[in-house]
Structure 1
Amino acid sequence: MIPVRLELEGFGPYVERQEIDFTRFFATGLVLIRGETGAGKTVLLDAMTYALYGRSSGGTRGDFADLRSLLMPPDAPTRVTFEFDVRGRRYRFARWLRVRKKRTGAYEYLPAQDAFFLSPNGTFTTFFENPRQRDVEEKARELIGLNCEQFCQVMILPQGQFERLLVAKSEEKEAVLVSLFHAERWQRIAEQVCMWANGLRQRLDQEKAAVQALLDGQGCADADTLSDKLKQTCEQLAGQAARRQAASDTLDLKRRVFEEETRIFGLFEERRTVQGERERLENRAPLMREKQERISAARRAVQAEGACAHAAAAAAELERRQAAVQQAEKQLAKTRQALLTAAGALEACEREEPFHAADQARLARLETLRESYRLLGEAAHTKDQSDALWARAVRSADGARAHLEACRSRKERLEAERIRIFEGYSARLPALREELAQLERIAQAQERFGQAAAKAEACQVQYAALLAGRAAKQAAREEARGRREELGRRYLQNAAAALAASLSEGMPCPVCGGTHHPSLATAAGDAVSDARIAAADRAVTQAERAYDLHEAELTKAEAGMQAARELAESLRAECGPIPAQLAGQLEAVRRSVREAQEQDAHAAEVAAELEQAVSALEQAQDLAVQEASALEQTVCGRQKAHARYEALAVQLDPELPDYAALEAALKAVRERCAAYEAGLKRARADESAARLAEGAARTAAEHTMAELERCRAAYAQAQEGMRQALDCAGFRTSEEVAAAVLPPETVSAWEQEVVENRARLEAASRQMDVLDGQLAGRSLPDLARSGQEIAALEKQKAELDARWGALREMCERLKQLERDCRARQQALDARRAECDRLTAFGKLLRGDNGVSLRRYLLGVMLSSITAEANRLLKNVHGGRYQLFRTAEGLGRSRKAGLDLEVFDAHAGGRRGVSSLSGGEKFLVSLALALGLSAVVQAQSGGIRMDAMFIDEGFGSLDPRSIADALDVLASVRGSRRLVGIISHVEALRESIEASVEVVKGRTGSRLKLHS
């Protein structure tokens, strides 16, 4: 990946559009980005990272809208564009702010972004239709192969981040390396393996508990106990089966006897039922005879029933015809009265004819005047409207002139306010901010210097106290050694004295072998035991250990004191001259900045109000012109309306003063004419209808009278026929016939009932004879007693069956349980071994008993980084410094082993990196950062980064160290097409010809390219 072009506008201190063409520096390969402090050098790196990832290079500048330039007008654009090449293809990433004006007049800035690729036709084409910030960031990660953190470690070394990896503790280094190399996946693998093992162990424990629960449910401690219980249960089952078979045989015999007794009892019950049925049938004989007589009478009544029905129908028809005659006579009288009434009404309407003709003549006259009255009304309405419009136009014109003057005054006032704020506050705000930043840096440096000085003084006090106690520790050690030597001497002397006491002249000495003993050893006084010797040895060991620990603390205190002094000296040099009244000056500048920011924020409101005032003034001017023109038009229209109304007013009729009166008169005449015509039409229709109704009623009355005479003759004939039929059937009246008549289905049913009753009586008598023959010599059996005996036997059999079934079920269940438990126990034993192996492997990967897999791999990565850094450090101070990892931590710490030490060739030993001076620390940190960049690039899927930008850090270097740093960068430049250095150090300008100069001004910063 190589940068090609960077463009920014309205971003940070860059108000106007600025552009950097990086291809101009490919020939030299080294470019210096220089300028005053606060001019905006680091903002160039932020523009790259914001365009790609939406974040600053150092991660501390907030979101994209926070870097919008405060020197710009509120509606000016803010945009950054970064073009670069990857694998021979060119891409462009851009971010900008969309400006939206709210209803309140304030401005809102909404971030937007997009990503493009250069198409074969030479135009940039977007990747997305509606890109989100996450889409653009993921596309940058896909193309470059690095996320934002990795990009800042590989291509951009941010300001203030050099020493983070060098001096960080193992835990902090691990967090950084995990983020850069995505090493968290190895820890997840280890945790996943341990989780698998724990899950398997839990399942095995659950399985074991389940098996034991099954055994506990049977009251057994293990599978062998369960087998014994199964054997006992099977023996009980065999005995229970024998008892069950005996009870079953007894019950079968008793049931066969009971079946024979039940059959005899059934015959006795059948004879009793048949005898009762025969008696019941004999008792129904009188009823059967009565029904037979009713059936005979019904057959005779059928012969006379038709004649009786015909006579009754003739009588009913005669009554109906008599009622119809009466109704027809009433209707005829009613229609005749209605005809007389309608004729009178028609005659009355015809007498009103002359008045109707007069109304029609008046209606024709009024219709001719209608158009004139309508025009007069319209003219009056137009005159009133023109008067109202003229009055309203006069008022609107006066109001528009007043509003125009008010808008003009407001615009002038807001312009004066904006000029006052800009000259008094906004123009001074960048300088105030720069002054505030400078004072805050001085205050922070002074605070750090004070802390460092206090720490140096504390270290010196600690060193003096340890040095003062050194003699005491040494004296205690020598005293313990002396006591131990004295006790040893006395112990040996007493042992020699005891040996001498056992010698005699001529006896060989076990020490020298001589037989002559001229000078025997004597005892030293009190006895010295082995326990006293051991106690003296322990005292010597403790004294020596205390002295060694004191010496180590003294050495550590001396090194800490020296490091604290060097740090204080470097911070003193960094502070420079400090103003006498720093706190007061800092507070005063802060107040000025706050006041300027408030006024600058107020300036935006004033600008918005001014824009509104200008717009309102333009609208007011347009409105005043429009109102004046409208007033002239209303005056002309008013004069025309008055003239037309006066011309039409002379045509008014005295009786009808206006158009409304004319319309009322027309309406009254029309209503009278319409009423007369409707009444006449209705009277004629009523008279014609009444005449038709009277003729129809008269015809109907004549027809009903003829029908009545015909019905009277038919009635007399029907009465004669009924009398003859009654005589033939043997009845006196038609009522007797009606009482004797039965429905055909009833006659048929009664006849069948009589026949069936006779047949059933004969069958019952025959069955009684048969049953008497079968039961001859037999008595009624006692079924209740036999049933009780069978029930007792069945109950006994059921109890035996239940016990046998329970024992059989228990045997089957115990057999299955024994098989299951033994099979599950075998599977548990096999899987337990597998779980132990998996647990051991997970703990090994996680590092429970040593170094974890992730820590081991991070150590390998850090070794690769230090190897690359040491290759670069060969060009620094003659190869004096080399970086090394410390040994693995003591005990079981999984975080140790990532600390760094520096080998100092001049001192011939290793020391902590914190003991390096400021310049040395920068050079070593630079080499380490470059090594980290190379390793991250190599581990990122073959991505090649052909550029690197280094931000600040050269200010603490002397000329020789600067030369060494440039040598380091020269060795890196061979693998990259472009290396950029951001610094304000003037000495670098002599060594680096190509540069990008950031020129700071009151209206914003500008860029000058020197290639």
Structure 2
Amino acid sequence: MRLNTLTMSAFGPYAGEQTIDFRRFGTNGLYLVSGDTGAGKTTIFDAIVYGLYGSVSGDVRETSMLRSRYADDRTPTFVKLTFEVNGQTYHVLRGPEYERPKARGTGTTKQKALCELTFEDGRPPVTKAALVNSAIEEALGLTRDQFKQVSMIAQGDFLKVLLAKTDERTRILRSLFHTDRYRRLQEEINEEANAQKSALLERERRLQEKIGQLETFPADERFELEALVRFLDEETKACHTKRDALDAAQKACDAKRIQLGKWNEQSKKVQAQQQARQQLDEANARLAVLEQERQTLALRQARYGTWIEERSALSQALEQARRRKQTEESYQNARKKRKALEQALESEKARVATLQVEIDQLQTEEGDERTLALELEKWQEQAGARQKIEALKAEQAERSRALSEAKQRYEQTRTDYEAAQAKAARIELAYYDSQAGWLAKRLEDGRPCPVCGALDHPHPAALCAQAATKEDVEQARQAAQRIRKALETEANACLRLEEAGAHAQTELDGLEKKTPPRASIEEQLARLRTRQKTLVERTRRLEAARQTLQEAVGRLAAKEDEWRTCREQEIEWRTTWQALGSATDDEAALKARQETLEAQIETFEQHRKRVDEEWLAQQTRRAEYQALAQESLNAPADLDRQIEALRDFIQMEQTRLDVEKKEQADRLYALEHDQKVGLQIEREQKETEAQRMALSELKNLADTLNGKLGGQYKIGLETYVQMAYFDEVLARANVRLMQMSEGHYELIRYQAGNRQSQTGLDLGVIDHYNGTKRSVRTLSGGESFEASLALALGLADTIGAMNGGVFCETMFIDEGFGTLDDQTLGHAIDMLAQLAAHKSVGIISHVAALKERIDAQIVVEKRQAGGAFAKTIV
């Protein structure tokens, strides 16, 4: 991938639109991105990563914080990037979502995010963020993290990799080479082994519980499954023998019980025959009495027929009397109801007339309600305008107070900024005054002076009392810079308050000119509301009267219909009553005679029914008793004594059998229980042994993967995989390190001598000048820079090779050159220049010596009011 152009608008510290043309540096070469600390050098790489992947390069910057605080409201925030991959040109445009002031009115609105990828080969553009990201990753062959590792080398990060111990380096390489899956595999296997161990212990505990549940088997300290099987077989045979004997005894007892049943039936028949002979005599006597009663009833049958005829005639006479009485009552009720309805009709007619008069009076008082509504609406709008005027006056007062406070804060911040600038100037002057003393502190006998080259240093310069370090200078500058940013914020706040106050005052003056005084408005509103209330009350009364009239007319019509119906019913009942004529019999006497006849008829019928039913029943019983009394029975004289003796024998025998069956059942239940438990014990033993063997294999695997084998170096699976990656990185890094150190140093990986702690990624160097091996922590500052830079470049090459040989033609190296002497800096630049023969390499640094050695530059300037500005020097 090769960069062509980068355009930033209101992005980070860049307030306006800024375009960087990387094509001016050629297809390959070395160029410098320089400028003061915080000016916006790294922001260029942030913009490139944001354009490609939609997020910035650092972990502390969020997409929502990308809009420049120096930009005005009309300048949009976006990044436009043009790059080439395999001869194809891509144009990507992205802009974050942010809040901006509304174009009209007050308040803010949300500016939607932008995302568009266009091509020069005729393909349609892509506008969805997910599709754009996918297309760019497919074209580059790198994810965001991989692109950062290949294209952006931050020296501080790789110095940590260089000086870290095995445990810390494991965590760093895990994020670089994504070896988490190997660590998770170690943990999962180890957790599985621990879980299997716990499961085995639980299974052994359950096995002992099963052995303790045996009821018939005599358990001892040493349990053997074969002994349990033999014992259960013997007990089973004994139980079967006992069961056969009990079954035979039970059959003999059941035969005795059948014989007892037969004797009981014969004894019952003898008793029943004796009782039947006695009951036969009683039935004959009762039949004789019933025969006499039947003859008496036959003589009274003729009188019963006379009672029936008389009852029919009485019923007809009573029905005639009841009908005439009911008809007369209905006629009188209809007559009374008609008269009541005539009075109600007169009342309703009077009510209707009164309501009609009231409605006529209210209709003569109607006025023009629409004119009143329009006039009321006009004065309500004037009242709203007056309220808005008062609200604007209150806002102006509050805004004036806020402006006064903002001006006070601005003056105080301006004083603080002037003081901080003066302090930073004093510290910087002290730093330059003390440089000779700092150089003298680093002199060592036998090593050449970086100024004069002498090997002896008899009179080194002393460090003055007011000496200041470079860090002191940088901290003072940063403190002044923070106060300057606060000063700009205060100035912008004052300007916004003044502009808002002027705009509000213009609007207030316009409203005052066209709005009447509040007293006049309130007087007009009160007059109109009083008139409106009167019209509303009249309308309500008119509608109520109309509704009441409608209801009264409906009631009057209903009353008239009801009166006509009642009048027709009255005529009908009077005609019917007159047609029935007058009553000739006494109704009370008829009822009394009817009740007497009913009692006589019911008494005769009940007597006849009882005699007939009892006579038939006695006939049936006499036939049954005769048959039973004549039956022939052969029974011994002492049958009852024999029955009693046999019953006692059966009871004693059954009691004995029940006891023995209960004991046998308990024995069988316990035996069956032990047989089931025995099968479970056998199964548990087999499964326990199988699980014990599986756990042994799993534990050996877990110890191997986690580096816990006895007598071996503690190298886990993840570390083992990282060793392979690390060896490849070191092989590529040593090519650069040998060049920069002129064959002096070579990075190596070695095993620690202690087998009690994790090892495998310890890093050292071979000093080829004296043939010794030592820790990388013994390297000087410049040597550590060379080693970390070589390590970073080796890692970039390795990651590119891991991703299918992806060749990224653009690389940035961020800082790390400030601690180098001239010779080391020269070696580093020479090596980077060789690297730049095949790709474009940008060094992000503010070191002055680099400006003298590298002609092609992007200079980032920090302006007081307009944010950052980048210019290209070729």
For 1:407 and 1:348, the matched residues in 2 are separated by 70
Name the residue aligned to 1:900: 763
What amino acid sits opposite 1:935 in the alignment?
Answer: T
Name the residue aligned to 1:496: none
1:731-790 per-residue CA deviation (whole Å, 9 max, x = no partner) reads x988655422249986764453132122112122123xx12x344675531243222232
1:797-821 per-residue CA deviation (whole Å, 9 max, x = no partner) reads 4256437635864785587468647
Name the residue aligned to 1:38: 38
Compared with structure 1, are the counterparts of its residues 619 and 207 closer, same or farther at alpha carbon in structure 2 (3 Å cutoff)?
A: same
1:847 aligns with 2:707: yes
1:837 aligns with 2:697: yes
Name the residue aligned to 1:164: 160
Name the residue aligned to 1:616: 504
For 1:754 and 1:785, the matched residues in 2 are separated by 42
What amino acid sits opposite 2:19 in the alignment?
Answer: E
Kept in 1, the 8 Å contact 2:166–2:760? The answer is yes
For 1:413 and 1:810, the matched residues in 2 are separated by 94
For 1:757 and 1:445, the matched residues in 2 are separated by 148
Shift of 1:884: 2.1
Compared with structure 1, are the counterparts of its residues 179 and 791 closer, same or farther at alpha carbon in structure 2 (3 Å cutoff)?
A: same
Name the residue aligned to 2:859: 997
What is the correspondence of 1:703-782 to structure 2 with a 5 Å cutoff?
703-705=579-581, 708=583, 736-742=600-606, 749-767=613-631, 770-771=632-633, 773-775=634-636, 778=639, 780-781=641-642, 782=644
Kept in 2, the 8 Å contact 1:15–1:1004? The answer is yes
What amino acid sits opposite 2:282 in the alignment?
Answer: N
Unaligned runs of 5+ in 2: 448-456, 529-534
Name the residue aligned to 1:22: 22
Compared with structure 1, are the counterparts of its residues 168 and 969 closer, same or farther at alpha carbon in structure 2 (3 Å cutoff)?
A: same
Name the residue aligned to 1:263: 262
Compared with structure 1, are the counterparts of its residues 808 and 620 closer, same or farther at alpha carbon in structure 2 (3 Å cutoff)?
A: closer
Instruction: Report the 3-state secondary structure (helix = DSSP H, G, I; strand = E; otherwise coil) of the residue aligned with 1:895.
Output: coil
Instruction: Report the 3-state secondary structure (helix = DSSP H, G, I; strand = E; otherwise coil) of the residue aligned with 2:700.
Output: helix
What amino acid sits opposite 1:15 in the alignment?
Answer: A
What amino acid sits opposite 1:704 in the alignment?
Answer: L
For 1:319 and 1:967, the matched residues in 2 are separated by 144
Instruction: Report the 3-state secondary structure (helix = DSSP H, G, I; strand = E; otherwise coil) of the residue aligned with 1:875.
Output: helix
1:381-407 per-residue CA deviation (whole Å, 9 max, x = no partner) reads 979997x89998998999888888888
1:839-888 per-residue CA deviation (whole Å, 9 max, x = no partner) reads 22331222113222322332232222222122123432432322222x31
For 2:863 and 2:817, the matched residues in 1 are separated by 25
What amino acid sits opposite 2:845 in the alignment?
Answer: S
Name the residue aligned to 1:69: 68
Instruction: Report the 3-state secondary structure (helix = DSSP H, G, I; strand = E; otherwise coil) of the residue aligned with 1:949.
Output: strand
Compared with structure 1, are the counterparts of its residues 625 and 223 closer, same or farther at alpha carbon in structure 2 (3 Å cutoff)?
A: same
What is the correspondence of 1:425-824 to structure 2 with a 5 Å cutoff?
606=494, 609-610=497-498, 612-624=500-512, 626-627=514-515, 699-705=575-581, 708=583, 736-742=600-606, 749-767=613-631, 770-771=632-633, 773-775=634-636, 778=639, 780-781=641-642, 782=644, 783-795=646-658, 797-799=660-662, 801-802=664-665, 805=668, 809=672, 812=675, 816=679, 820=683, 824=685
What amino acid sits opposite 2:38 in the alignment?
Answer: G
Shift of 1:347: 14
Compared with structure 1, are the counterparts of its residues 126 and 35 closer, same or farther at alpha carbon in structure 2 (3 Å cutoff)?
A: same
For 1:192 and 1:407, the matched residues in 2 are separated by 66
Q: How many matched pairs? A: 827
1:187-226 per-residue CA deviation (whole Å, 9 max, x = no partner) reads 3223333344444444444444444444454454699844
What amino acid sits opposite 2:128 in the alignment?
Answer: F
Shift of 1:17: 1.4
Kept in 2, the 8 Å contact 1:93–1:114? The answer is yes
Name the residue aligned to 1:916: 779
Shift of 1:897: 4.0
Name the residue aligned to 2:727: 863
Instruction: Report the 3-state secondary structure (helix = DSSP H, G, I; strand = E; otherwise coil) of the residue aligned with 1:900.
Output: strand
Name the residue aligned to 2:126: 125
Name the residue aligned to 1:315: 314
Compared with structure 1, are the counterparts of its residues 213 and 289 closer, same or farther at alpha carbon in structure 2 (3 Å cutoff)?
A: same
For 2:386 and 2:246, the matched residues in 1 are separated by 129
Instruction: Report the 3-state secondary structure (helix = DSSP H, G, I; strand = E; otherwise coil) of the residue aligned with 1:847.
Output: coil
1:931-986 per-residue CA deviation (whole Å, 9 max, x = no partner) reads 11111222235433222101122333344433322221233234x53211112334
Structure of higher CA gyration radius? 1
Kept in 2, the 8 Å contact 1:230–1:811? The answer is no
Kept in 2, the 8 Å contact 1:442–1:578? The answer is no
Name the residue aligned to 1:512: none
Kept in 2, the 8 Å contact 1:421–1:600? The answer is no
Unaligned runs of 5+ in 1: 461-557, 560-568, 642-657, 723-731
Compared with structure 1, are the counterparts of its residues 587 and 91 closer, same or farther at alpha carbon in structure 2 (3 Å cutoff)?
A: closer
User: Equivalent of 1:981, from 843, 846, 862?
Assistant: 843
Report the more deviating stretch, 306-315 or 266-275: 306-315
What is the correspondence of 1:287-298 to structure 2 with a 5 Å cutoff?
287-293=286-292
Name the residue aligned to 1:876: 740
What is the correspondence of 1:130-529 to structure 2 with a 5 Å cutoff?
144=140, 146=142, 149-158=145-154, 160-218=156-214, 220=219, 225-232=224-231, 234-235=233-234, 238=237, 242=241, 245-246=244-245, 248-293=247-292, 305=304, 307-322=306-321, 378=368
Instruction: Report the 3-state secondary structure (helix = DSSP H, G, I; strand = E; otherwise coil) of the residue aligned with 2:860.
Output: strand
Kept in 2, the 8 Å contact 1:230–1:814? The answer is no
Instruction: Report the 3-state secondary structure (helix = DSSP H, G, I; strand = E; otherwise coil) of the residue aligned with 2:812.
Output: strand
Compared with structure 1, are the counterparts of its residues 274 and 108 closer, same or farther at alpha carbon in structure 2 (3 Å cutoff)?
A: farther
1:955 aligns with 2:818: yes
Kept in 1, the 8 Å contact 2:10–2:16? The answer is yes
For 2:260 and 2:7, the matched residues in 1 are separated by 121
Instruction: Report the 3-state secondary structure (helix = DSSP H, G, I; strand = E; otherwise coil) of the residue aligned with 2:7.
Output: strand
Compared with structure 1, are the counterparts of its residues 422 and 75 closer, same or farther at alpha carbon in structure 2 (3 Å cutoff)?
A: farther
Kept in 2, the 8 Å contact 1:390–1:631? The answer is no
Instruction: Report the 3-state secondary structure (helix = DSSP H, G, I; strand = E; otherwise coil) of the residue aligned with 2:31.
Output: strand
For 1:964 and 1:39, the matched residues in 2 are separated by 28
Compared with structure 1, are the counterparts of its residues 184 and 982 closer, same or farther at alpha carbon in structure 2 (3 Å cutoff)?
A: same
What amino acid sits opposite 2:815 in the alignment?
Answer: E
For 1:759 and 1:905, the matched residues in 2 are separated by 142
Name the residue aligned to 2:454: none
Query: Could you tell me the TM-score, scaled by structure 1's length?
Result: 0.65
Instruction: Report the 3-state secondary structure (helix = DSSP H, G, I; strand = E; otherwise coil) of the residue aligned with 2:746.
Output: strand
Shift of 1:794: 1.7
For 1:881 and 1:920, the matched residues in 2 are separated by 9
What amino acid sits opposite 2:169 in the alignment?
Answer: K
Shift of 1:292: 4.6
Kept in 1, the 8 Å contact 2:8–2:47? The answer is yes
Name the residue aligned to 1:465: none
Kept in 1, the 8 Å contact 2:52–2:92? The answer is no
Q: What is the root-mean-square deviation in Å for CA atoms of aligned residues? A: 6.2
For 2:753 and 2:291, the matched residues in 1 are separated by 130
Compared with structure 1, are the counterparts of its residues 424 and 71 closer, same or farther at alpha carbon in structure 2 (3 Å cutoff)?
A: farther
Shift of 1:28: 3.7
Shift of 1:1010: 3.3
For 1:280 and 1:438, the matched residues in 2 are separated by 147
For 2:4 and 2:836, the matched residues in 1 are separated by 17
What amino acid sits opposite 2:278 in the alignment?
Answer: E
For 2:756 and 2:317, the matched residues in 1 are separated by 132
What amino acid sits opposite 1:879 in the alignment?
Answer: G
What amino acid sits opposite 1:125 in the alignment?
Answer: V
Instruction: Report the 3-state secondary structure (helix = DSSP H, G, I; strand = E; otherwise coil) of the residue aligned with 1:878.
Output: coil
Compared with structure 1, are the counterparts of its residues 601 and 746 closer, same or farther at alpha carbon in structure 2 (3 Å cutoff)?
A: farther
